[in-house]
Amino acid sequence: MVSQGVVARGQDIGRDTPFAAGIDSIFSPYARPDAPGCAVSVMKAGKIVYARGYGMADVANGISLTAATPVHVASTSKQFTALAVLMLESDGKLRLDDDVRKYVPEIPDFGHTITIRMLLNHTSGLRELANLFSFSGWRNSDEQYKSDVFAMIRRQRSLNYVPGTEFAYNSGGYTFLAIVVERVSGVSFRRFVIDRIFAPLRMKHSDVQEDVDQVVPHRAAGYWGHDPSNLRTARPSNSFAGASGVVTSVEDLARWDANFYETKVGTQALLNQMSTPGRLTDGSEFGYGMGLFIGTHRGYRTISHAGSDYGYKADFIRFPSEHLTVTVLCNAFDIAPTPLALRVADLYLPNAEGPVQTQHKSDLPGVSGSPLSPSELAGFYWNDTIVQGNRFFHEQGKLLLDGGGEGKFELRPLGNNTYRLMEAPRRFLFIFFRRADGSLAVRVDVEGSPVTERPKVPDTKPSPAELRALAGKYYSPELDVMWTFVFRDGALVLERHRREPSPLSPVFGSTFEGDGFVLAFRRDPRTRTLVLEVTTERVRRLRFTRVMNR
């Protein structure tokens, strides 16, 4: 159990430990007096053995970031939401297999039951609210309220997939879980979490921000980047919580971590539920429990959850067998905390390396195992059946993954044409191979999820006449928004309300890439009307219909 009052606010912990110099080296790029940075803590069974802040909590006012500084932790908040729901179930006030519409009737009847459990483990099939707002013309700085959430969900007419049949991460589901907590408990979500979780654990510098204008004492300011020559402040835009909203410090998170070893809040059974892999309706397991990811690192089991929101990044990674936890909280959107946290963990973990568990190309039927260069691998890979794809770039001899709105991520080569995304706390592999017909494909192996295959799609260049034929105005009743496509300077250009015009990149046939999404034009087989289907990682085939040519 973590000792209380072990350190004054802002004081470093464990500076005399053998690994202090190594941690300082890892975070040295952010140890600046003129830029935001990160706070890090290392816990053993909930007791802090090292904690320090690097960089500034508030650059304009010269306030340093410390281990005690409250930082917005974005989706790392989900574990607190999950425990709140489980506590209400333990109180006998709800059941995890209840239809969520019993508590949130604003969610339409899609013809399939969506349970609370499905929201907890991301198998609901709901489309991602953040994507829907963005498609509707909302800007990053626009404040969103529950009334906006209800207005958006009421307009939806379909799901991404049949509930329970797939795992697909969905933050919006946790927004609805917080609403369930409020309606069942009779108090605000913030009040419930403070009274039932933070206060009993003496997390005195933790809060839930349910309004973008809510004052949280001593909270670190958020920034889009950490380059001191170009600092711009950023802040989350949601005036509701559940998927995000928790503000806490690495010191307070040690008290939360201690609860997993000496339970004060909830029960051990409830906490175990959170880290038990979920199951689909066909019985297969996947690597998410309730508010926590389940994975491995160097052969050690990990329980974790990262977070990303405007101005902030976070990760909380537990190694249960070693009673080791590393937390990294950053107040700049361009800092990736997961690789930093794993490098810190490597200092403390015993020297054991688990083999990468994946099916190599030579094990795949009809596959050639010859080496493939990063330049060959660059391109777009797409599976139309599961409506998922990835684009890879070859830059300066390295293979990069297009992260959509998150930028590009360098992939680490592991040999045998296999690459790993190091920003992910779980094993996230891309296994490239050449099919028997000579074409390239990639298998995406995300720990805890079924392996999926995506063929490389040859780039095409539609003719000007083909591009002009797609121009016009397209309307989506599910967004109540009109998108306009025009042919300009040899390209098909998307014009949207409150957005800069965006030239589209042709991928194959009548399929294009936009700003973090894929657009597929086709003819409705019944009406022969030209329609557009928009897909992201978390939204599938959102439909627009052309209402006029241009």
Distance from C-alpha of 156 to C-alpha of 23, rounded to nearest angstrom: 48
Q: Is the dihedral of CA 32, 37, 42, 48 positive or negative?
A: positive
Are residues 293 and 303 in contact, defined by beta-carbon separation less than 8 angstroms?
yes
Give the residue from 217, 278, 275 showing the smallest Cα distance to 248. Answer: 217
Distance from C-alpha of 367 to C-alpha of 336, rounded to nearest angstrom: 35
Note the pLDDT of residue 386: 81
Domain definitions of the chain by residue range? 74-220+228-248+262-299, 361-457, 464-548
> In this structure, which topology does domain 361-457 adopt according to CATH?
Lipocalin (2.40.128)
Residue 347 Cα to chain centre, angstroms: 26
Q: Own/partner pairs for 316-323, CB < 8 Å, 24+ apart? A: 316/73, 316/76, 316/79, 316/253, 317/341, 317/342, 317/345, 317/425, 318/257, 318/260, 319/345, 319/349, 320/260, 320/275, 322/348, 322/349, 322/350, 323/44, 323/45, 323/261
- Helix ranges (DSSP H) in 304-423: 337-348, 374-377
Q: Own/partner pairs for 428-432, CB < 8 Å, 24+ apart? A: 429/356, 429/358, 430/390, 430/392, 430/401, 431/358, 431/359, 431/360, 431/361, 432/361, 432/372, 432/377
Note the pLDDT of residue 384: 85
φ, ψ of residue 465 to 5 degrees: the values are: -65, -40
Are residues 435 and 428 in contact, defined by beta-carbon separation less than 8 angstroms?
no
Are residues 153 and 173 in contact, defined by beta-carbon separation less than 8 angstroms?
no
> In this structure, which topology does domain 464-548 adopt according to CATH?
Lipocalin (2.40.128)
Cβ neighbors of 282 (< 8 A, separation 6 or more) are 165
Are residues 470 and 510 in contact, defined by beta-carbon separation less than 8 angstroms?
yes
Distance from C-alpha of 502 to C-alpha of 493, rounded to nearest angstrom: 5
Distance from C-alpha of 329 to C-alpha of 322, rounded to nearest angstrom: 22
State the Rg of the chain over Cα: 24
Residue 175 Cα to chain centre, angstroms: 14
pLDDT in tens, the chain (550 residues): 333 333 334 468 888 888 999 999 999 999 999 999 999 999 998 899 999 999 999 999 999 999 999 999 999 999 999 999 999 999 999 999 999 999 999 999 999 999 999 999 999 999 999 999 999 999 988 999 999 999 999 999 999 999 999 999 999 999 999 999 999 999 999 999 999 999 999 999 999 999 999 999 999 999 999 999 999 999 999 999 999 999 999 999 999 999 999 999 999 999 999 999 999 999 999 999 999 999 988 889 999 999 999 999 999 999 999 999 999 999 999 999 999 999 999 999 987 454 444 444 444 444 556 899 999 999 999 998 888 889 999 999 999 999 876 789 999 999 999 999 988 767 889 999 999 999 999 999 988 788 999 999 988 889 999 999 999 999 999 999 999 999 999 999 999 988 899 999 998 889 998 888 999 999 998 888 999 999 998 999 999 999 976 5
> In this structure, which topology does domain 74-220+228-248+262-299 adopt according to CATH?
Beta-lactamase (3.40.710)
Note the pLDDT of residue 9: 43
Work out the end-to-end distance of the chain between its first and last CA atoms, rounded to an integer number of angstroms: 67
Distance from C-alpha of 292 to C-alpha of 533, rounded to nearest angstrom: 32
Give the residue from 221, 224, 197, 200 showing the smallest Cα distance to 208. Answer: 197
Exposure string for 371-387, b = 16+ CB within 10 A, e = fewer: ebebeebebbbbbeeeb
Q: How far is CA 21 from CA 18, 113, 340, 447, in A?
A: 7, 53, 14, 32
Domains 74-220+228-248+262-299 and 361-457 share a fold: no
Note the pLDDT of residue 124: 98
Give the residue from 470, 354, 357, 329 showing the smallest Cα distance to 416. Answer: 357
Whats the size of the chain, residue-wise?
550
Note the pLDDT of residue 175: 98
User: Whole-model pTM?
Assistant: 0.90
- Look at strands 452-457 and 379-383 and give their pairing: antiparallel
Note the pLDDT of residue 458: 87
Note the pLDDT of residue 548: 78
Note the pLDDT of residue 369: 67
Note the pLDDT of residue 15: 81
φ, ψ of residue 23 to 5 degrees: the values are: -65, -40
Note the pLDDT of residue 221: 98
335 CB burial (10 A radius; 0-12, 13-18, 19+) = buried
Distance from C-alpha of 241 to C-alpha of 253, rounded to nearest angstrom: 18
229 CB burial (10 A radius; 0-12, 13-18, 19+) = exposed
Give the angle 29-330-64 at the CA atoms, nearest 5°. 75
Q: What is the phi-psi region of residue 105: left when phi exceeds 0, alpha when psi lies from -120 to 50, beta otherwise?
A: alpha
Distance from C-alpha of 429 to C-alpha of 419, rounded to nearest angstrom: 6
